[in-house]
Amino acid sequence: MNQPKKYIFCFDIIAGFLLIFSFFLLIFVPMSSMSTLWKDYRVLFLPMEVDEPAILQAAEEHGITGIISSQTIENRFSDLEEQGYTGYPFTDKERYTQWFVNDQENIRYMYIPSDKHITKDFFRFLKKNTGYFFIENDTSFSAFQFFIALIFFAVSFFYTSRKKNYFSAAFPFVIYAAFQRGILALSSSILIMYTLAFWMEAIGSSLKFTREQLVSRIKKNPLLVFFPFVALIIAKFNSNISLVLFVFAISASASFTYIIERFSFFAEEKMDTQKIHKTIRAYVMNPQSIAKFWHTRHLFVVSSCAIFSIAFSALFLYFSFNKTIKAYQNTLYLPMPEASVGIPGFSKKAFDELKKIRTGDDLPDLGNLISDTWNAKVIPFTRLGLSPQENDRVSFNDFSVDENGVVTEQDGLVFNFDDEFIKSVISFRTSPSIEDLLYSQGRFITASYAPKKFPLNRYNSAALLVALVSAIMPLMIILLRVFEK
């Protein structure tokens, strides 16, 4: 007698674990994977031929300041060039320029502080004056997709007879739509929520079905089985990670529904024990109800809402984003973090560690600014042929002769390459500059060009076409009901 209870209790524990684990992954995975490449900064990709000063001016007019662009290069090298320090051991200016210009792919980079809000007006300015561009996302959450999914969820919830079960089964897909950006991610979530509403009406009547009646109802409505697979395939078209998270959304849906059903079972069982007569559920007797279910008006409203939600959101996302990315491939090459020093902060010890992790193909880093400043100070006081970088301390003795002809030796100018020197160089750096970005990483870091895959295909013409085709699915339900009359 106790064995079945233990068996069911084990399922309760598993369902609770799956619910927590699935919801955690639905939110945590997108948030962790969508962090920007550079801490506190977003990369703006632009065509090489854009009018950079005009873009910077427009950004400032819309409250977006502190942008790091190629306009900052001259400030970085002006003092060195005035003193004639343009060759070794100073930083190569052309190499430094590669932080902002990619000649091979005809792309220009700007770095926008993450705390600066990209206004709609500035976004429209970029669309009008650049032809195409791409701004790195600093969040995985899409307010537009969330509200579209939530609105459809609310409409379906209102017109579904089993509201409690529909809420538990469909709500995880609202979360999925909010944290998975892309036309097809939203389309798949709406389609699966529509399918769940369809399923709830198919198996969720207040009347009781025999097993044979339930199987017959599903057989006479094969789209009940077909739609979930379509939604799964559409999620795969968005991206591989979208498919994986869609499966976890299904897991959350199933476990959440199971837990709600268990609570309902215990509540009804407790109520029955307090009644003289147990609750009676009537069986379905009318054969027509096996093939036809869900009030026709309710079916039409929910189906129409599904069609509109999918089509409208797909067109909106396509026309809002497609022009900005149409010239780019999914994989872009850009300056990316390569290696970081294991010591946090900016000290002499960390600087020495930085020199060890450089490969020779790196872009100029924060250590280059420190070396340039040091070299500019000590070169006048070092012997020819001796690299100033080999000295951590430079000094000379000053001699003076008094009126009695006595020669006195005094300590001369002293430069120490230590923590204080590094701190002063960083504190007095020009801003905005690429050194601001490097300093914001919290430690010395090297950078080089590397490929990065961006989800640019989530808003292309193929995604739009698949979404519009998926909108036909609810239309098929409407047509089938019309022809049944």
DSSP assignments along 323-373, one per residue: HHHTT--SEEEEEEEEEE-SS-B--HHHHHHHHHH--SSPPP-HHHHHHHH
Average pLDDT, the chain: 83
156, 155, 231: which is closest to 186 by C-alpha?
231
Question: Structurally, how many domains does the chain consist of?
Answer: 2
CA 108 to chain centroid, in Å, comes to 22
Q: Are 437 and 299 in contact (CB under 8 A)?
A: no
Which of left, alpha, beta for 131 (phi over 0: left; psi -120 to 50: alpha)? left
Task: Based on the fold, state whether residues 436 and 307 are members of the same structural domain.
Answer: no
pLDDT in tens, 424-481: 999 999 989 999 999 999 999 999 999 887 777 788 888 899 999 999 988 888 777 7
Domain boundary among 286, 316, 346: 316
Do the domain assignments include residue 473? no
Do the domain assignments include residue 87? no
Task: State residue 409's pLDDT score.
Answer: 64
115, 116, 133: which is closest to 124 by C-alpha?
133
Task: Based on the fold, state whether residues 431 and 312 are members of the same structural domain.
Answer: no
Q: Are 378 and 415 in contact (CB under 8 A)?
A: yes
Task: Based on the fold, state whether residues 173 and 241 are members of the same structural domain.
Answer: yes
The yes-or-no verdict on residue 90 having pLDDT over 90 is no
pLDDT in tens, 112-140: 998 888 888 898 898 888 878 888 877 77
- Helix 348-357 to helix 366-378 angle (10° resolution) is 110
Task: Based on the fold, state whether residues 166 and 224 are members of the same structural domain.
Answer: yes
Strands (E), 115-182: 134-135
The yes-or-no verdict on residue 412 having pLDDT over 70 is no
Task: Based on the fold, state whether residues 255 and 303 are members of the same structural domain.
Answer: yes
Task: Based on the fold, state whether residues 310 and 347 are members of the same structural domain.
Answer: no
Domain boundary among 281, 316, 351: 316
Do the domain assignments include residue 204? yes
pLDDT in tens, 208-242: 556 666 666 667 667 777 888 999 999 998 888 88
Coil, helix or strand for 448?
strand
Task: Based on the fold, state whether residues 243 and 287 are members of the same structural domain.
Answer: yes
Least confident of 16-20, 193-197, 295-299, 442-446: 295-299
High-pLDDT (> 90) share of the chain, %? 38
**From the CA atom positions of the chain, what is the Rg in Å?**
33
Which uninterrupted H or E stretch holds 248? helix 240-273
Residues 6 or more apart whose CB falls under 8 angstroms from that of 350 comprise 341, 343, 344, 443, 444
Domain boundary among 282, 316, 350: 316
Do the domain assignments include residue 397? yes
User: How many C-beta atoms lie closer than 10 Å to residue 185's C-beta?
Assistant: 31
User: How many C-beta atoms lie closer than 10 Å to residue 48's C-beta?
Assistant: 12
The yes-or-no verdict on residue 1 having pLDDT over 50 is no
Which position has the higher pLDDT, 321 or 185?
A: 185
Q: Give 447's strand partners.
A: 337
pLDDT in tens, 53-73: 999 999 999 999 999 999 999
Task: Based on the fold, state whether residues 243 and 349 are members of the same structural domain.
Answer: no
Amino acid in position 387: S
CA 49 to chain centroid, in Å, comes to 28
Do the domain assignments include residue 324? no
Which of left, alpha, beta for 152 (phi over 0: left; psi -120 to 50: alpha)? alpha
Which DSSP category does 403 fall into? T
Task: Based on the fold, state whether residues 218 and 257 are members of the same structural domain.
Answer: yes
Do the domain assignments include residue 391? yes
Task: State residue 291's pLDDT score.
Answer: 46
Dist. CA 135–CA 109, nearest whole Å: 10
Task: Based on the fold, state whether residues 221 and 274 are members of the same structural domain.
Answer: yes
Q: How confident is the model at residue 105 (pLDDT cuts 50, 70, 90)?
A: confident
Task: State residue 241's pLDDT score.
Answer: 87
Amino acid in position 198: F
The yes-or-no verdict on residue 354 having pLDDT over 90 is yes
Task: Based on the fold, state whether residues 273 and 151 are members of the same structural domain.
Answer: yes
Do the domain assignments include residue 10? no
For residue 237, the enclosing domain spans 15-34+141-316
Provide the whole-model pTM. 0.76
Do the domain assignments include residue 74? no
Cα angle 87-428-336, degrees, rounded to a multiple of 5:
65
Q: How confident is the model at residue 148 (pLDDT cuts 50, 70, 90)?
A: very high
37, 38, 35, 72: which is closest to 437 by C-alpha?
38
Coil, helix or strand for 243?
helix
Task: Based on the fold, state whether residues 183 and 280 are members of the same structural domain.
Answer: yes
Q: How confident is the model at residue 391 (pLDDT cuts 50, 70, 90)?
A: low
